[in-house]
Structures are given as structure tokens and as C-alpha cells.
Structure 1
Amino acid sequence: MSEYNAKNYTEQGGEKTVIGGTLEIQEGASVTGLPSSQVPVATETTLGGVKATTKTETYTVAAKIGTDGNLYVPTYPTVPEVPVAVNQAVSTAEDITTLLADFNALLVKLKTAGLMAPDAQE
């Protein structure tokens, strides 16, 4: 007779089930019969009830347990408005000097709108 030890098993008669491995409760499943006194109550520092594990750091979100025992997750931040530079008219320059002036005017407008870093102060 071989010796086989399972981490998860139900003792003979079905009165006791031992979970020595991982118990996975999938979405939509439910657990019944637990007295409410055995399920911890949420506090400011402790999450009560069932706690799901995070998949990766990219799936985490800051949460807080309020004084009322409810779990609160902040709303996603709004996307900041992208600044718009003052319009730069189409260049009609016919020489390099006028084209340079038009180009420099464009650079000033981009910097003023915050779309380009300002010149380094010497």
C-alpha cells in the first residue's frame, strides 16, 4: 500500500475538510454557513471579510477603510487639459531673415503656452 498525503482532503465521514494548499473561490461562487462572528469586521487598519490578492503592481489601487467600516477607492484622476499655444500664422517669408523671425515667433508661443521648456538662464 502506497503512502499518499494530500494537502487538501476531507476526512472519512465528511465531517471535516482540511485545506493545506490553496483554496480558490472563483468569481460568482459563494460561501454559506459562516457565523458572522468569525468574519473579521473592517476597521481603519484592517480589511474585514474576504480579501482578494492583486495580480501585479499595475492592478493595484489605493483604498481606505472609512470610519463607517466601508472600503473606499478613490476616483481616477481627470486628464489634465493640454495647453494650446497662440496661433502662428503660416509663414510667407521670401528670405531667410523673415523665415527665422517667423520660426522664433513660433518658439516663443510654444514656450509661453508651456509646451516647450524655457531657455536655460545663463
Structure 2
Amino acid sequence: MRCGKCNGAYGVTGYGRGRKYAYYNCISYSKKGKRVCPGRRLPADELDREVIDRVRELVFSGENMRKLLDDINAATKSLRTDYGRKITELKKKAADLQLRVRRQYEAIESGKIDSSLVAERLKELRIQRDSL
């Protein structure tokens, strides 16, 4: 924060009469006196409250809240679309693996393949399916 009179920096100072009060004070005035700056002491609690209220007004304005809501809706829609694609892809992979397992069993049942030759391949297919 800068002084409106001399453009010097403001700093927090405390004065008391048995109690501690916080003020923002022009540092140029505090160090060099009235010859440099007429100085103005501002109660810190009042100024802090004003700044916080103004920031709230700006940040949480109706327009900003609408934009935030629009951004959140767009992001969640994008995520739903992405997850929908991933779910569809995983379902296809699971169905393909299940079909391949079934074909292995059918080949064993029909006598086309010896079961001892297929055991390792069935194990691999189950591992792939379970990893989905």
C-alpha cells in the first residue's frame, strides 16, 4: 500500500494507552517527519475490513459466480465424456477377453486343442481381464 501524499510505503505501527492499537502509517512520515509527508494514520482493523469487503465484492460478484459455475459445468461435462469413453472401451476389452477365454474352452471341449497347452494362455487372459 502506498501513501497518497508522498507515494511512500505504508507499514503497520502500534500505539497504546494501556492497549495495543494497530495502524497503517506512512513510513516516510514515521522516519522523516512532516517535512517529507503530512502523513495519515489509518486504523488497521477498519482498513482491513474495507479491503476484505471490497475483495469479496469483486471476487464473489454475480458475474464471477456465473463464470465459475459455467467453468465447473464444462469441466465436469468433459470428465463425464472422458469417463464414458473409458468405460465403453473397458467394456469392449472385457467382452473381447471373455470371448477369447470362451473360445479356448470350446477348443478344449471339442478336442481341437490339448488342455495342457492352453492352461498358460487362459491364465494370461484372466490376468488381463482382472487388470481391467
Query: What's the TM-score, normalizing by structure 2?
Result: 0.30
Q: Which has the higher helix share?
A: 2
Query: What's the TM-score, normalizing by structure 1?
Result: 0.31
